[in-house]
Amino acid sequence: MGTNKEKTGMRGARPDQQPRIWDVPTRVFHWTLVILVAWEWASSHLGHGFMRYHMWGGYAVLTLILFRVSWGFVGSETARFAQFLRSPRNTWGYIRSWGKESHHHIHGHNPLGGWAVIAFLVTLTIQVGTGLFATDDVLTAGPLNALVGGRMGDLLTAIHKGNFDILLALVVSHVIAVILHRVIAGHDLVRPMITGRAARPVPGAISPRAFARPWVSVAALALSGLGTWLILQI
């Protein structure tokens, strides 16, 4: 039996009842990604003068992807792939537990959210990967466009444009899922992604050692930047 506060989403709960669940790098990654994806969309429609900045934004997204993949291995517990990736059977079991008490008692990504992370990373990789080879056939060409023939360049440009709609569909369903959690289950997922703290108690203790040291994130980001630079040297 939970307290009333638990049932109402713990507004005003004491800090010790709101344990840290998201580390700073994961949160900065998320909101920077949101801004950059919006910028990539806007800059691709602002005319030729903005394509240079569209490409810069794309390199920043590439660095974020490399960072998030490495963070999935060396980052804090809730950011690690091994912690949130579950088998399809397990994920189905989670979906079927909707409405039951056990359903929302998960710290970090739930099994469905875990697969959403992978879907985002794959779609973003396709977006950036094809962008590197894309061309508008007028003034702008991605840095690797010269490596492929005109036809292949056109195909990759078409995929670049088409894949953006898939990315958009993912974003829309992502935001709808967040709203449904709020409206139906009364759980605010957004505030934890901003403050890092769960809005209510979570099962099991979260050890302070579950959080990676800051220098690990700095090293991962530096290596990711280096990775982007190396890819651009191809």
Q: Which residues bind ligand HEM (CB under 6 A)?
A: 26, 29-30, 33-34, 37, 40-41, 44, 54-55, 58, 61, 68, 79, 109, 113, 117, 120, 124, 127-128, 131-132, 134-136, 140, 142-143, 157, 160-161, 164, 171, 174-175, 178, 189-190, 193
**If DSSP codes are grouped into helix, strand and coil, which group holds residue 72?**
helix
> Residue 22 CB, nearest distance to ligand HEM (Å)?
8
Residue with tokens 């992502």: 174
Q: How far apart are CA 81 and CA 85, in angstroms?
A: 5
> Residue 227 CB, nearest distance to ligand HEM (Å)?
14
CA angle at residue 220 from 25 to 118, to 5 degrees? Answer: 65
Position closest to ligand HEM via CB: 58
User: Is the CB of 1 or the CB of 63 nearer to ligand HEM?
Assistant: 63
> Residue 32 CB, nearest distance to ligand HEM (Å)?
10
Which regions of 126-231 does DSSP assign to beta strands (E)?
none
> Residue 48 CB, nearest distance to ligand HEM (Å)?
9
Q: Are residues 21 and 14 in contact, defined by beta-carbon separation less than 8 angstroms?
A: no
Helix axis angle for 51-74 and 214-232, nearest 10°, is 130
User: Is the CB of 66 or the CB of 124 nearer to ligand HEM?
Assistant: 124
Q: How far apart are CA 175 and CA 89, in angstroms?
A: 25
User: Is the CB of 13 or the CB of 107 nearer to ligand HEM?
Assistant: 107
User: Is the CB of 174 or the CB of 197 nearer to ligand HEM?
Assistant: 174
User: Is the CB of 1 or the CB of 83 nearer to ligand HEM?
Assistant: 83
Residues 161-165: contacts with CB under 8 Å, at least 24 apart? 163/123, 163/126, 163/127, 163/130, 164/41, 164/127
> Residue 90 CB, nearest distance to ligand HEM (Å)?
16
